[in-house]
Structure 1
Amino acid sequence: MRVLVVGSNGMLGRDLMSTLVQTEYTVFGLDIPQIDITRQHELSGVVRDLSPALIINCAAYTAVDKAEQETELAFSINRDGSANLATVCHDQGIPLIHISTDYVFDGTGRRPYRESDPASPIGVYGRSKWEGEEGVRDHLREHLIVRTAWLYGVQGNNFVKTILRLSREKERIRVVADQFGCPTWARDLAEGLARMATLISDDPASVQWGTYHFCGQGQTTWHGFAEAIVAEGRRREELKVQQVVPVTTAEYPTPAARPSWSVLDCRKLEENFGIVPRPWQTGLSEMMEELYRGDFPRQ
């Protein structure tokens, strides 16, 4: 099977590429400027030339705070680009796996969100991703939309690397303690996507198309996540930080509002694909081990 990963230079895209190249698939990874999902005509030609049997879309505008000012750009990529890709897939008979986010929910719930729960995004980023989901649904039946949360990895900038950097620089760091979610290692998600691709390849008639959740098993707060990162870091180096101070969202304002509850229910994924995400603590430990081996930059 020929698989095209769109957005292959991002954090998830890189882990997905390294995961897929270990399979029997022929894998192509494209990113800007080789492919631009906001330009449908050019996109159609690129896809036609490669003739993949499956496309996995990791391309997205993910700057949550900047999206409040760069609204047009966020919607152009997350909404229009996703719909363009789904249209091209429909026209060329290609199934699509599309990555989405917990930000489609407003965070007012107090049980894990199910795929069937109504979306109610509270910021530009969340709205643009939700409308992108709808564009995929409107244009392509053979799709899998995979929502994830609190994604981190050895590639790119993310919360884990930020906490490690601050822990080397400061004795006290302040972290929000009233937002709850499920930290997800990009490598774990990549391996889940690879397993979904295998089912599409091996038995496409059995695939239950639709929307799924994938995130690290268990829940914590950003503060709890930060404490775990510091503990993992201390096993590997001497850190300056002495205290991780819990603060409220009100004490740490950001341009874009964050959902206070981003816990996702992943049971549908297990029921239809047999995929059970690992505990988030396990993913964090393995990611830190990989980071400290020196294969990837720490900053």
Structure 2
Amino acid sequence: MSTPQPPLPQTAPAPPCPGYTSPIPVVRTHLGHAIAAEWTKMRSVRSTMWTLGVFVLLTIGVGLLPALVVVGTDTDLSSGENPLGTGAFGLLVGSVCLITLGVLTMSSEYGTGMIRTTMTACPNRGRVLAAKSIVFFAVAFVVSLVAITLVSLADVALLEGHGARQPTGAEWLKGTVGVSLFVALLGLLSLCVGSLLRHSAGAITVMIGVMLAPLVLALFMFSRALEGVREFLFEYSLPSQFFVFYGAALDEKGPSGWDPLWIVLGLTAAGYAAAHLLLHKRDV
């Protein structure tokens, strides 16, 4: 007979493994995080500083040139002319820089492939587009406002005693804040076009064409049958809209007052809606 084996000792059950707590705090992301990321990208890219620097130089340099010519030749402006309008030439030329920067803010990430990293870090594509739009618009508006205000103050001081009158408070508001909003929205429209086309050179070409093509076409419409079309293109071309903010509308029937701001706001809203829709439908 076999010898009975002693019973095996009973082992106590292992205590449950305590839950792991990550030392890295986990928080729910929101739009503020995306804005902070886009602001870091914008201010750390060298092309942003160069583009904004050229914009400021063109806005101030070209904006002061007409006033310096008037002072240098000792001539007078026409009676009652608004001296703020002389600075519009610089902003008109400098707006090309903001158009370029608006396109590059979105399209450059598609060119480098960085857009994949951006969408991985923030899968909410609408939030990415909103963050880029907010950061760009804020930067474009502030830089434009500072530049055009400096030009306006200098022009008023230079043209004092040369037939120019002192602008009213409403004229100061339209000639500084109003036109800065107009230029910033124009740059935001460029960002939307960059998102739609995903190609920097193509989007910049399209935006410059939108800005200059109507005016160029109107200049070569000599036929009387096209007179109505020519007047429409003259009145609603973007370069003409700049001068409406200074009370220099080409025709009483065309845009006046704050109308150019509402026009470009409508165009930008349509472009943003299209960019938002296609951003969710297409692959990165």
Q: How does the TM-score come out when normalised to structure 2?
A: 0.28
Higher fraction of strand: 1
Q: How does the TM-score come out when normalised to structure 1?
A: 0.27
Q: Which has the larger radius of gyration?
A: 2
Higher fraction of helix: 2
